[in-house]
Amino acid sequence: MDEQTLLGRPAQSGIAAADVDRLLDTVARVAAGAADESTQDSLGDLVERLTSRYLAGLPRSEWLAAIDAHLWFDPPWQPIINQLGAAFVHQGRPDEAVALLHHLLAQKQDPLHLTIFCAVRVVAGLPDHTLVAGELPDLLTRVCALLDLPEEKADAVELLAGQIDHLPAALVDALLDRLGNGDDAVAAILARCTDPRAVAALAERLDREPAETVFEALAGTEAPSLVAVLLDHFDHPRRRRHAAAALRGCPAPQVVERMLARVKDPDPHARLYAVQLLAERARTAGAAPELLEAISALVDDPHDEVRYVVVGALAGHADDPRAVAALRTRTGDPDPLVRGLAIEAIRSPEPQATADLLQRAVHGAPAERRDAAAELGQHAGEEVVAVLVGLLDDPECAGTAARSLTGRPDAHGVTAVTDALLRHTDHSDDQTRTAVVNALAQQPGAAVAPALLDRLSDPSDPVRQAAAWGLRHAAGAPAVAAGLVAALADPAPEVREAAARALDPPTSRPAPRCSACSTTPTSRCATPSSDRSQAPNPSRCSARCAG
């Protein structure tokens, strides 16, 4: 089929939006009946390419009209527009590619900067950037302006990182200048660039402190020169943790070679991170004998943290007799965390997920610890509870850990969940206090009610709401009932509603009554009690019942 007459007419005879919509709809219906996803994707790519080629054969006024009709918030058309510049060049109409770029940059009413992102993709698709040399300075200025906008920077970095090797050298120059002037965010772009200058600049930046953002940008890199730089930084005690995180997932053989040497390092932190990287490689490469042997050799390491990581690594191979034999030697480990993880690994039929999460929760970067704490909410075991309790002391993860502890009873052999939560009811972060109070609301014990009562005066509305609702099981106690009645006058409606619901009579006992008039308490009746030893006080009852 001639792709230039796909719609039943010569390409130069004009195109209407309905024509292209019909083409898109036809191929989409065919794709929907395709047997597999790859076939559907191939058909989608085909329709985008054919449509861009078709548009590229039209007079300027007509393709401009089609672009203007679909430029804004029309996702199926975005790939078509992105490919249009290259389609013009393919058809020997480079001047039209220049006109397209000029048209995109001329859009003034674009608060979301959509046309700038589109212009970058158009330029990336061109086989020769000199064709649009006159438009590049303006585009470069606009792109750098996006990198200066906090609300757009992340999206701009993501786009440029995916296109950097297809963009003009002038943009690389500008990014190198920004990196040299302290804009570490552009490292994520330069890390995907094959230009030797980018590699050199990143290596130089890593030698300055602090460089955590740059290490994060290099995560997963396979560039041999950058891998070599990261391995050098692994041997630097102050940068080892960041270098190890960046080397995770790197398939370069020199990483394994260096880590096999570092399992014998006198520094326990070097051994710890070496085991983590070797364990990751062992999972992807299978239970390679030399890797399991190197990891198992540290099962008796004198440092608790190293043994913990070793046991976690071996837990991923609990179906391997060599790993099981090493794990059994730690079921009596003096450290409860190591001992618990070893026992759980041997008992569990699928230990890998829990073991990985436990390691990430203890040794990961802040975001990793937070994510792991959230996922551990779905896992059971004393070791899981012990790690979550420990994360309550981590300012980055305390709220998430509290949410994951919600509904877990105290268990023998680990720090009491209730006691740990009680220590954090006055946490400085409102959301964390809310999570802690919600978790306490589901814990039994005499110490919980006083703590929740104290939180009824918390400055945060959600905390007071959680405390009021959490007191529902103790509303029969005089002090609790009095506190809930006082909360009925709280300025926040959600707190008042929670207090009222907490005071509703459970089916197992009557609602607390005012000792003066036997009515249910109201915000104006401050003597609710099921304790009849208190003297009635009609002056404090509601107007409805005080007579």
Please state, in angstroms and rounded to a whole number, the distance separating the CA atoms of residues 67 and 79: 12
**SS3 call for 332:** coil
Q: What single-letter DSSP state applies at residue 412?
A: T
Q: Which of 397, 412, 405, 362 is nearest to 380 (CA)?
A: 405
Q: What is the pLDDT along the chain (547 residues), one digit of tens a residue?
A: 344 433 444 444 334 455 556 556 666 666 566 545 665 666 777 788 888 988 999 999 999 999 999 988 888 899 999 999 999 998 899 999 999 999 999 998 888 888 999 999 999 999 889 888 899 999 999 999 999 999 999 999 999 999 999 999 999 999 999 998 988 889 989 988 888 999 899 988 888 877 888 888 888 788 888 899 999 999 999 899 899 989 988 888 899 999 999 999 999 999 999 999 998 888 766 557 888 899 999 999 999 999 999 998 998 887 788 888 899 899 888 888 888 888 877 765 455 667 778 888 888 888 888 888 888 877 777 788 888 888 888 888 888 888 888 777 665 444 478 888 888 888 988 999 999 998 888 776 667 889 999 999 999 999 999 999 888 878 778 888 899 999 999 999 999 988 988 887 433 333 333 333 333 333 323 333 333 223 333 333 333 232 2
Q: What does the CA dihedral 282, 283, 286, 288 come to, rounded to 10 degrees?
A: 10
Please state, in angstroms and rounded to a whole number, the distance separating the CA atoms of residues 123 and 115: 12
DSSP 86-119: HHHHHTT-HHHHHHHHHHHHT----TT-HHHHHH
Q: What per-residue string of b and e applies to 95-109 under the rule 16 or more CB within 10 Å gives b? A: ebbbbbbebbbebee
Q: What is the pLDDT of residue 410?
A: 60
Please state, in angstroms and rounded to a whole number, the distance separating the CA atoms of residues 76 and 48: 8
Locate 225 and state its tokens: 């020169």
Q: Which of 527, 505, 524 is nearest to 516 (CA)?
A: 527
Please state, in angstroms and rounded to a whole number, the distance separating the CA atoms of residues 81 and 64: 11
State the pTM of this model.
Answer: 0.53
Locate 127 and state its tokens: 């086989």
Q: Catalogue all structural domains in the chain, each as residue range(s) with its CATH number.
A: 351-500 (1.25.10.10)
Q: Is residue 373 within 8 Å of 359, Cβ to Cβ?
A: no
Please state, in angstroms and rounded to a whole number, the distance separating the CA atoms of residues 345 and 309: 13
Please state, in angstroms and rounded to a whole number, the distance separating the CA atoms of residues 199 and 196: 5
- For tokens 């040497």, name the residue: 261
Q: Is residue 257 within 8 Å of 228, Cβ to Cβ?
A: no
Contacts 24+ apart (CB under 8 A), 218-222: 218/187, 218/191, 218/246, 219/245, 219/246, 219/248, 219/249, 220/246, 220/248, 220/249, 220/250, 221/191, 221/246, 221/250, 222/250, 222/251, 222/252
HEC letters along 13-82: HCCCHHHHHHHHHHHHHHHHCCCCHHHHHHHHHHHHHHHHHHHHCCCHHHHHHHHHHHCCCCHHHHHHHH
Q: What is the pLDDT of residue 56?
A: 92
Q: Is residue 497 within 8 Å of 528, Cβ to Cβ?
A: no
Q: What is the pLDDT of residue 350?
A: 54
Q: Is residue 96 within 8 Å of 62, Cβ to Cβ?
A: no
Cis peptide before 210 (omega within 30 of 0): yes
Please state, in angstroms and rounded to a whole number, the distance separating the CA atoms of residues 4 and 145: 39
Q: Hey, how many other C-beta atoms are within 10 angstroms of the C-beta on 62? A: 16
Q: What per-residue string of b and e applies to 394-414 under the rule 16 or more CB within 10 Å gives b? A: beebbbbbbbbbbebeeeeeb
Q: Which of 473, 472, 438 is nearest to 458 (CA)?
A: 438
Q: What is the pLDDT of residue 271?
A: 95
Please state, in angstroms and rounded to a whole number, the distance separating the CA atoms of residues 527 and 514: 6
Q: What is the pLDDT of residue 65?
A: 93
Burial (CB count within 10 angstroms: exposed 0-12, middle 13-18, buried 19+), residue 515? buried
Please state, in angstroms and rounded to a whole number, the distance separating the CA atoms of residues 443 and 1: 71
**SS3 call for 529:** strand
Q: Hey, how many other C-beta atoms are within 10 angstroms of the C-beta on 445? A: 14
Which ranges constitute the DSSP H helices of 108-195?
114-124, 136-147, 150-163, 169-180, 187-190
**What φ, ψ does residue 261 adopt, rounded to 5°?**
-75, -35
Q: What per-residue string of b and e applies to 146-179 under the rule 16 or more CB within 10 Å gives b? A: bbeeeebeeebbebbbebbeebbeebbebbbebb
Locate 547 and state its tokens: 């007579």
Q: Is residue 132 within 8 Å of 97, Cβ to Cβ?
A: yes
Nearest 5°: CA angle at 177, between 175 and 182? Answer: 95
